[in-house]
Each structure stands twice: as C-alpha cells, then as structure tokens.
Amino acid sequence: MSENYRIEKDSMGELNVAADALYGAQTQRAVNNFPVSGLVLPSAFIKTIALIKKAAAQVNMDLGELDAVKGNAIAQAAEQILQGQHQPQFPIDVFQTGSGTSTNMNVNEVMANLASGLAGQTVSANDDVNMGQSSNDVIPTAIHVSAALECRNSLLPALLHLAKVIEEKAVSLDHVTKTGRTHLMDAMPVRMSQELGGWALQIRNGIDRINASLPRVYKLAQGGTAVGTGINAHPDFAIKFAEVLSNDTGLPFKVNESLFESLSSQDAIVELSGQLKVIAVSLMKIANDLRWMNSGPLAGLGEIELPALQPGSSIMPGKVNPVIPEATAMVAAQVIGNDTTITIAGQSGNFQLNVMLPVIAYNILQSIELLGNVSRLLADKAIAGFTVRNDNLQQALARNPILVTALNPIIGYAKAAEVAKAAYKQGRPIIDVATEMTDLSRENLEKLLEPAHLTQGGINE
C-alpha cells in the first residue's frame, strides 16, 4: 500500500481506495465504473439518506435489533452529514446503477466509518447502517422525502413570496389602464392590476397543485426492502420508521398501503414533476409578458421599465436587457425538459423495481431548486421594482381603434368596423373619427370610450 491508497475489499475482491477517503470498496468501484457526467446527486438527497439511516437506527434500537452503542454512533454520524460535513465523500455520478445502490452503499460506508470511530468498535455498512433496509426501498424513500422537504422549505415559500409581490404590485397599479393585447395585436383596454392579477392567480394555483400532489409523495417505500415483501426487516419496522421520520421532519409521512407500488413506480414524483412543469409554463408566460412590456425603449412597446441590473451588450454601449425574465424563461425550459426525463424514467419500473431512480432524484430536486430560486429573483429583482411608462400607455390607448368595440351595441358591428378602419388608416384618435362618422355627441363618446370605464365590462347603451 502506498501513502496515497489503502486496500479495501468487498465480495468481489480487493482494490485501492484513497487513504483519506471515508468510503470503501463499493463506492470506489462505482467511481471507477461511472465516469459519465461529473454530476453528483445533490446534497439535499445525500442528507435525506442520512436522515433515513438515523431514523432506521432509532427504530432498530427500539425494536431490540441493533446494539445501542452502534445505533447511537450511527445517529451521530448521520448528524454530521445533516450538518453539511463530508460532502466530498459522496462522489458517485448520477448516471450509475438504476436502483441507486451505489449511492446507498456510499452513504452506508461513510457512516459506518464515522460510526466505528465514534463507537470504538466496528460498525458494518451492511449489517448495521443498512439494517432492515435495501437500496430498493431506501432510494425511493429518499426521493419522496427529499422532494417533500425541499417543496416545504424552499419552493412553496418562494412561490408564496412571488404571488404576494405580484399582488402588491397589482394593487399599486390599479389606477393604470393600458391597451390589452390578443394575438400580440391591440385589443380592448385592461387595468394593469387585472393583468398582474392573472399572473398572481397562476402562481397561487401552482401552490395549490403542489399541495394537492404532496399527500402521495408522503407515502413511503421504506420497509419494503428488496422487492416489497419486507424480507429481513422487522414486521413493525415500516410503521415505526414512518412515525420516527414524521416526528423528525414535521411532515406527515406514512407507509404506502402497497410497498410493491412504492418500489416499482415513481408515479407520485411523475405527478409532482408535472405540477412543477405547469408552474414553469406559468413563469414562462409571466417572463415573456415582462419582456414584451419592457421592449424598446424606443422601438418596442415601452410600457414598463425593468430595473437595470447589468450592461446588456459587449458591443452596444448603454444597452440594458431584461436579464431576470430571460433567466426565468431558461429555468422554465429546463424544468419542462426535466419533466420529460422524469416521465421517461418513471416508465422504467420493470416488474418489482424502477431502474432509473438516480436520474429521477437529480431532476426532481433540480426542478424544485431552480423554480424556488428564480421565483424569488423574479419577485425581488423584476416585478417589485419595475416602473410604468404611463405617457406611452396613454398615447397608445388614445390611438387604439379597437376601443370602438364599446360602440357595437349602439351603432352596430359593421359601422363600428368602418370607424375603426378609418381611424387606423388616418392615424387619428378613435373619438375624433367617431364624432365625424356617427351621430353620437363628443360628450357621449367621451363617456362611452373612456378606457378605464371599458375595463369594467358590461354593455354600453
């Protein structure tokens, strides 16, 4: 053995492992076997596996299956990982064995090494840290638990913040009337509060969609072990594990009524990912609306001015771009792509086990993280700070021939169309042309065509 390596062995034989590594032979084999992407499973996922190991140790001690000295040492090792220590000790590529066995054993080996030092005796990665467990139930459980925790701790608060910021902005702009647009073409006027109110409801509906999906995410595979039968786990393990984990996290986890469903499918995560895709679609719409409204400043719509955050061009001095909406749109595209990956991976539950679990874990957690982060950026660096270019709005409103729609009940569609076409062709305000082409008085037309009034709906008489 050189100074840089030590010899480790597993059921397949001996191999060199870095001398200072906390992991053992199975982790090293996975590192050697899967030099694919350089992407590793996120720390939130590794921490969740440690949380599972801690809860399992507690349950196994309570059931008299695990020695208290070893069990407490395992719990202490888990706490170190939960505090963010030892992250470089989890180097395995996302694109690995489809069950995630390599990652489960990586955590088992690191925790066994740490626990052995704490206990002053050998703690086995398989027999002690992994007692009553299989990669086939640990990894599906970790996907559910990590996704639920990240939704609660990160995504849902961020979406709620975004919704509130939009709603506050809408209230402050309730007095502002602008040209509505359908097909990107001028339409009847709307209040800016109405436009933003639509955005806010999209986000609040997204929150509701996540909350509606979570009860199925709370159902756990733990206790199913290898194929769902619970072989080599205490009969009471699954129920007690869910109770301990619920107590540790504050979330209502429970044993799935069919552990076979939990091991062989990831339908709950496919569903959750679909809801995240809807939120991504909502954010894409909001981001693109902001980009259009901000376009210009001279040759575009120029309705609003987003906060200037950084120079926009390496060649055009003074150019400033809508960088936060652009980042938001890219996040939306990534999340939509992640959903496609998760959908395909979710189909790979052949017989008793899904065999694309690591890529499901990576993508669902990335989607949750990206949506949470960009929602706060969109709220704080774009929506909260944009200003309205009211002169531009009012000039466009005055020239908008579609305002004549309000006269349909009085002069009829055909006559209104003549007025609109004449106003557009002549480039004149609709009220001036309507005064000439109808028998309505200017005073009456001012009331009928007042943009703010037209945002309230109803029928003009």
pLDDT in tens, 354-411: 999 999 999 999 999 999 999 999 999 999 999 999 999 999 998 898 899 999 999 9
Q: Say whether both 179 and 43 belong to one domain.
A: no
264 part of the active site? no
* Catalytic residue (choose from 2, 11, 183, 314): 183
The continuous run of DSSP H or E covering 6 comes out as: strand 5-10
Considering the domain boundaries, does residue 239 fall inside one? no
Is the same domain home to 358 and 412?
no
273 with 193, same domain: the answer is yes
Q: What is the pLDDT of residues 150-196, one digit of tens each?
A: 999 999 999 999 999 999 999 999 999 999 999 999 999 999 999 99
The reported pTM is: 0.96
Sign of dihedral through CA atoms 27, 337, 142, 88?
positive
352 three-state secondary structure: coil
**Residue 298 domain-assigned (yes or no):** yes
Last residue of a domain, which of 96, 131, 166? Answer: 131
**What CATH number should be reported for the domain holding residue 187?**
1.20.200.10
| Listed residues 79, 107, 131: the one ending a domain | 131
CB 125 within 8 A of CB 27: no
Among 361, 389, 417, identify where a domain stops. 389
Residue with tokens 């037309």: 445
Phi-psi domain of 183 (left: phi exceeds 0; alpha: psi -120 through 50; beta: other): left
Q: Is residue 438 part of a domain?
A: yes
Active-site residue identified among 37, 172, 175, 313? 313
Domain that holds residue 197: 137-220+257-389
Looking at the fold, whether 278 and 147 belong to one and the same domain comes out as yes
Per-residue pLDDT tens over the stretch 25-72: 999 999 999 999 999 999 999 999 999 999 999 999 999 999 999 999
Inter-residue contact 354 to 261 (CB < 8 Å) = no
pLDDT > 90: percent of the chain: 94
Tokens linked to 306: 């987003």
Specify whether the CB–CB gap between 163 and 204 falls below 8 A.
yes
> Per the structure, how many domains does the chain have?
3
- What's the rounded mean pLDDT across residues 299-327? 94
Could you tell me if residue 61 is inside a domain?
yes
On whether both 376 and 349 belong to a single domain, the answer is yes
Which CATH number does the domain housing residue 420 bear? Answer: 1.10.40.30
* Helix, strand, coil percent content, the chain, rounded in steps of 5: 60, 10, 30
- Between CA 6 and CA 255 the distance in angstroms is 41
Whether 161 is catalytic: no
Nearest C-alpha neighbor of 124 from the set 70, 46, 48: 70
Instruction: Please check whether residues 326 and 356 belong to one and the same domain.
Output: yes
